[in-house]
Amino acid sequence: MKLLITGGAGFIGSNYVHLVLEEHPEDSITVIDKLTYAGNPANLEDVQDRISFVHGDIADADVVNDLVAGVDAVVNFAAESHVDRSLENSDDFIRTNVQGTKTLLKAALDRAGCRYLQVSTDEVYGAVLTGHSRETDALDPRSPYSAAKAGGDLLVRSYFSSYGLDAVITRGANTIGPHQYPEKVVPLFVTNAIDGEPLPIYGDGQAVRDYVYVRDHCEAIDLVLRKGRAGEIYNVGASRELNTIDVSDRVLDLLGKPRTLKRLVTDRPGHDRRYSVDWTKIRELGWTPRHSVDETFDRTVRWYETHQPWWRSIKSGDFAVFYERWYGQRLASARAGE
Ligand code: NAD
Ligand code: DAU
For residue range 34-47, list pLDDT tens digits in order.
999 999 999 999 99
User: Does residue 165 have a pLDDT over 90?
Assistant: yes
How many residues does the structure list for the chain?
338
Q: Which of 87, 129, 169, 202 to mutate to test the pocket of ligand 2 (most atoms within 8 A of CB)?
A: 202
**pLDDT at residue number 317:** 87
Residue 309 burial by Cβ neighbours in a 10 Å radius (0-12, 13-18, 19+): exposed
CATH number of the domain bearing residue 40: 3.40.50.720
| 107 ligand 1 Cβ < 6 A | no
The atom of ligand 2 lying closest to the CA of 210 is 1
Whether 278 maps to a domain, the answer reads no
Whether 298 maps to a domain, the answer reads yes
User: Does residue 147 have a pLDDT over 90?
Assistant: yes
**pLDDT at residue number 338:** 66
Residue nearest ligand 2's atom 14 by CA:
83
Q: In terms of DSSP bridges, do strands 115-121 and 73-76 run parallel, antiparallel, or are they unpaired?
A: parallel
Q: In terms of DSSP bridges, do strands 199-202 and 52-55 run parallel, antiparallel, or are they unpaired?
A: unpaired
Q: What is the pLDDT of residues 256-287, one digit of tens each?
A: 999 999 999 999 999 999 999 999 999 999 99
Structural domains of the chain, count: 2
Whether 74 maps to a domain, the answer reads yes
Whether 160 maps to a domain, the answer reads yes
User: Does residue 63 have a pLDDT over 90?
Assistant: yes
The atom of ligand 2 lying closest to the CA of 272 is 25
Q: What is the pLDDT of residues 220-249, one digit of tens each?
A: 999 999 999 999 999 999 999 999 999 999
Distance (Å, whole) CA 131 – CA 16: 30
Interval between CA 24 and ligand 2 midpoint (Å): 32
| 141 ligand 1 Cβ < 6 A | no
By annotation, the residues acting in catalysis are: 122-123, 145
Element (H, E) at 243: strand 241-243
Residues 136, 160 share a domain: yes
Domain range for residue 314?
185-208+241-273+292-336
Q: pTM score, two decimals?
A: 0.99
Residues 50, 20 share a domain: yes
Whether 284 maps to a domain, the answer reads no
Q: Which residues lie across from 170 on neighbouring strands? A: 119, 234
Q: What is the pLDDT of residues 91-146, one digit of tens each?
A: 999 999 999 999 999 999 999 999 999 999 999 999 999 999 999 999 999 999 99
Q: What is the pLDDT of residues 284-326, one digit of tens each?
A: 999 999 999 999 999 999 999 999 999 999 999 889 999 999 9
Using a pLDDT cut of 70, give the percent of the chain over it.
100
The atom of ligand 1 lying closest to the CA of 174 is 40
Q: What is the mean pLDDT of residues 146-160?
A: 98
**pLDDT at residue number 337:** 80
User: Does residue 22 have a pLDDT over 80?
Assistant: yes
CATH number of the domain bearing residue 302: 3.90.25.10
Q: Which ligand is nearest to the CA of 265?
A: 2
Whether 279 maps to a domain, the answer reads no
**pLDDT level of residue 336 (50, 70, 90 thresholds):** confident
On average, the pLDDT of the chain sits at: 98
For residue 232, the 8-state DSSP code is -
